[in-house]
C-alpha cells in the first residue's frame, strides 16, 4: 500500500510537471507603474457642447430584439426642450420624427438634467441613418449604421470594453478602440461605467462627465450595457437606498423585447450573434426572476439563425487574480451546467482590472459529497474572458494567484480592449489590444471555432488528454 501510494504520488508529480510546462501563459509584459488618475473636470473630453440647451451625453443602444430599433438618449440642462429625434436614411430625403420620454432624478444634493430616451423603430437593416436631437434650440446631428439582417453567416465585429471610468487611461483605451484598424461596429460593455461612486457623495457630476466623454463613440454606434457594481450607487449613509438609481435613469436596455422583467438582464440578436446579458448584482438563485428568465431564454437560442452564443456579465467566474477572487462563484454554481448544455461560445466579464483568457473549461460535477471540484477541459464549455481593463481610477490588478491555474490560457495586467470579429458560422477571430502598443498590434489572439457548427478543439495550450 505504502509503495503504491508513493508511486501514485510520484506519477501525479510528473503529470503535474507536464501540465505546468504546457499550461497557460502569464505575459512577461510589465506595464510602467504609474498612477491611474481621473481627467480633471476642465478636460477637453468633458467639454459641454455650446449653444442654448444643447443636447449632451448622447448615447445609443439596440432598441429591440433583432436590431431594427435604436434607443437614443441625451441630456439637456437648461430646460426639457424637445424630446423628439429627427432621423432619415442616407438614401432617402424623407425625414421622420420619433418622440420619447424625459426623466429626472435627485441623488443626495445633486439634481440631474433632463434625461431623454427616444426609441426609433422599424429601421431598415444595414443602412446608415442620420439623426438630430435638440430640435428647436441647439440641434446636434449624429449618425449610426444598423446591423445587417440576422443570419448564420453574417460577418460582424464587436468591440469589448469593461470597467472604463474616466481616467487618462480610460481615454487611451477608447482612443485605441476607435483607431483599431479592425473597426468595431458595436461595443459589448461589461459593466462599471463612470466610477462616480468613488467621489464624495457619489458626486453625480461624474456621471455627466462620463456621458460627455463616451459620446464620441456611443453616439455613433450602440453600446450594449451590462450592469456592474459601480452602477449600484447604494449609499444609505446619505439616504440613497434605491440601488442603480443614476444608472437606471440614464441608460436604457431593450429588456422587454426578450420577455425580461428587468432592465439588468436581457438578450438581443445582432447579425449572427445571440447575446445574453446577465446581472451579477441582482438575485440569480433558483426561483428568482433572473433564474427563470435564463432558464426560458437558453432553449430559445436558435443556432441555425444565430450561431454565436455570447454571454456578458460583470463578475467573472474564472479569474486567477487576487482581486475579487471567487466573487463570481455562486453564480457559476447556479448557471454553469446550462452554459455547457447549451454550448455557449464565449463569456465576457469585467470587474477585475486586468486581462485574462481561459481555456474551454467546466466545473460542474461537484455535488457536495463527491469531492469532484476541479475545473476540467471541456469542449462544450465556453471560453471565459476577463476584460475589466478599461483603465478606471482604481488602477490595475497586478497580483495573480500562483502558479497560474491550468484553465488560464493567458493573463496580463495591462489596460486595453478586445475585438470579437465574426467571419461566418464557424470562425471568429478574437484579439486583445493593450494600450501601450500600436493600434493594430494583437497582444493576445485566438481563433474561435463555433461550438454548434464547428466544435473542434480550439484550445491554445495543448495539454495531452
Ligand atoms: C453637495 O454637498 C457637498 C458636501 O456638503 C458640497 O460640497 C457640494 O457643493 C454640494 N453640491 C450641491 C450641488 O449643492
Ligand atoms: C428654444 O426653443 C423653443 C421652442 O422652439 C423656443 O420657444 C425658445 O424661444 C427657444 N429658446 C432660445 C433661447 O432659443
Ligand atoms: C483624449 O483622447 C483624445 C483622442 O485621442 C484626445 O484628443 C484628447 O486630447 C484626450 N484628452 C485627454 C484629457 O487626455
Ligand atoms: C431556427 O431558425 C431557422 C432559420 O431562420 C428557421 O428555419 C427555424 O425554423 C428556426 N427553428 C426554430 C425552432 O424556431
Ligand atoms: C497578493 O495577494 C495575496 C493573497 O491575497 C497576498 O497574500 C499577497 O501579500 C499579495 N501580494 C502583494 C505583493 O500584494
Ligand atoms: C469561414 O471563415 C474562415 C476564416 O475566415 C475561413 O477559413 C472559412 O473558409 C470560412 N468558411 C466558409 C464556409 O466560408
Ligand atoms: Fe466591478
Which band of pLDDT confidence, cut at 50, 70 and 90, is reported for residue 461?
low
What does the pLDDT read at residue 29? 82
Distance between CA atoms of residues 150 and 160, nearest Å: 20
What's the CATH number where 271 sits? 3.60.21.10
pLDDT tens-digit readout, 160-192: 999 999 999 999 999 999 999 999 999 999 999
> What is the DSSP track for 120-166?
E-SPPTT-EEEEEESTTSS-EEEEEEPPPPP-TT--EEEEEE-S-TT
Q: Indicate whether 310 belongs to any domain.
A: yes
Q: Indicate whether 196 belongs to any domain.
A: no
pLDDT tens-digit readout, 122-168: 999 999 999 999 999 999 999 999 999 999 999 999 999 999 999 99
Q: Indicate whether 437 belongs to any domain.
A: yes
42 lines ligand 3 (CB under 6 A): no
Which ligand 6 atom is at minimum distance from the Cα of 424? 1
**Structural domain containing residue 432:** 152-191+264-459
Q: What is the pTM of this model?
A: 0.94
Q: Quick check: is 324 catalytic? A: yes
Q: Indicate whether 410 belongs to any domain.
A: yes
Grid coordinates given for 323: 482581486
Q: Indicate whether 217 belongs to any domain.
A: no
Q: Are strands 355-362 and 408-412 parallel, antiparallel or unpaired?
A: antiparallel
**Cα 101 to averaged position of ligand 3 atoms, centre (Å):** 32
What does the pLDDT read at residue 93? 84
Given the residues 59, 176, 274, 324, select the one marked as catalytic. 324
401 lines ligand 5 (CB under 6 A): no
Looking at the 3D structure of the chain, how many domains does it have?
1
Q: Indicate whether 29 belongs to any domain.
A: no
Instruction: Say which residue the cell 474572458 belongs to.
Output: 385
What does the pLDDT read at residue 301? 98
Q: Indicate whether 159 belongs to any domain.
A: yes
Residue identifier of the C-alpha nearest atom 14 of ligand 4: 302
304 lines ligand 4 (CB under 6 A): yes
Q: Indicate whether 225 belongs to any domain.
A: no
Residue identifier of the C-alpha nearest atom 3 of ligand 5: 322
**Cα 195 to averaged position of ligand 4 atoms, centre (Å):** 42
**Cα 425 to averaged position of ligand 6 atoms, centre (Å):** 8
Whether 156 and 185 have beta carbons less than 8 Å apart is answered as yes
39 lines ligand 3 (CB under 6 A): yes
Which ligand 3 atom is at minimum distance from the Cα of 168? 14
Q: In angstroms, what CA-CA distances link 39 with 200, 214, 393?
A: 16, 13, 9
Amino acid at each position: 500500500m505504502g509503495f503504491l501510494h508513493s508511486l501514485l504520488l510520484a506519477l501525479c508529480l510528473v503529470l503535474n510537471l507536464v501540465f505546468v510546462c504546457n499550461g497557460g501563459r502569464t505575459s512577461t509584459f510589465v506595464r510602467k507603474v504609474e498612477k491611474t488618475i481621473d481627467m480633471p473636470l476642465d478636460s477637453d473630453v468633458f467639454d459641454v457642447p455650446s449653444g442654448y440647451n444643447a443636447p449632451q451625453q448622447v448615447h445609443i443602444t439596440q432598441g429591440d430584439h433583432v436590431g431594427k430599433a435604436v434607443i437614443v438618449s441625451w441630456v439637456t440642462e437648461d430646460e426639457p426642450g424637445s424630446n423628439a429625434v429627427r432621423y432619415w436614411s442616407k438614401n432617402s430625403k424623407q425625414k421622420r420624427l420619433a418622440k420619447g420620454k424625459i426623466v429626472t432624478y435627485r441623488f443626495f444634493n445633486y439634481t440631474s438634467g433632463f434625461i431623454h430616451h427616444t426609441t426609433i423603430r422599424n429601421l431598415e437593416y444595414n443602412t446608415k441613418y442620420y439623426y438630430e436631437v435638440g430640435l428647436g434650440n441647439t440641434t446636434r446631428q449624429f449618425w449610426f449604421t444598423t446591423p445587417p439582417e440576422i443570419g448564420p453567416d453574417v460577418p460582424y465585429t464587436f468591440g469589448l470594453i469593461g470597467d472604463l471610468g474616466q481616467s487618462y487611461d480610460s481615454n487611451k483605451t477608447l482612443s485605441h478602440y476607435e483607431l483599431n484598424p479592425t473597426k468595431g461596429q458595436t461595443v459589448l460593455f461589461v459593466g462599471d461605467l463612470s466610477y462616480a461612486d468613488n467621489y464624495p457623495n457619489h458626486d453625480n457630476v461624474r456621471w455627466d462627465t462620463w456621458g460627455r466623454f463616451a459620446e464620441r463613440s456611443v453616439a455613433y454606434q450602440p453600446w450594449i450595457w451590462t450592469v456592474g457594481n459601480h452602477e449600484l450607487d447604494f449609499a444609505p449613509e446619505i439616504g440613497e437606498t434605491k440601488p442603480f438609481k443614476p444608472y437606471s435613469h440614464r441608460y436604457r436596455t431593450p429588456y422587454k423585447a426578450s420577455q425580461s422583467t428587468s432592465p439588468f438582464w436581457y438578450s438581443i440578436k445582432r447579425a449572427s450573434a445571440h447575446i445574453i446579458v446577465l446581472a451579477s448584482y441582482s438575485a440569480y438563485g433558483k426561483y428568482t426572476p433572473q433564474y427563470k428568465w435564463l432558464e426560458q431564454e437558453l432553449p430559445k437560442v436558435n443556432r441555425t439563425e444565430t450561431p454565436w452564443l455570447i454571454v456578458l456579465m460583470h463578475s467573472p467566474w474564472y479569474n486567477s487574480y487576487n482581486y475579487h477572487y471567487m466573487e463570481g462563484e455562486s453564480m457559476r454554481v447556479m448557471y454553469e451546467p446550462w452554459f455547457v448544455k447549451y454550448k455557449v461560445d464565449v463569456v465576457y466579464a469585467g470587474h477585475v482590472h486586468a486581462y485574462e483568457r481561459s481555456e474551454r473549461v467546466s466545473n460542474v460535477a461537484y455535488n457536495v459529497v463527491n469531492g469532484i471540484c476541479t475545473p476540467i477541459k471541456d469542449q462544450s464549455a465556453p471560453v471565459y474572458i476577463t476584460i475589466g481593463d478599461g483603465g478606471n481610477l482604481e488602477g490595475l490588478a497586478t497580483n495573480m494567484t500562483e502558479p497560474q491555474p491550468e484553465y488560464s490560457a493567458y493573463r496580463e495586467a495591462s489596460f486595453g480592449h478586445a475585438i470579437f470579429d465574426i467571419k461566418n458560422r464557424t470562425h471568429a477571430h478574437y484579439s486583445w489590444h493593450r494600450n501601450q502598443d500600436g493600434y493594430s498590434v494583437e497582444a493576445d489572439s485566438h481563433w474561435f471555432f463555433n461550438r454548434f457548427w464547428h466544435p473542434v478543439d480550439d484550445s491554445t495550450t495543448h495539454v495531452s488528454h
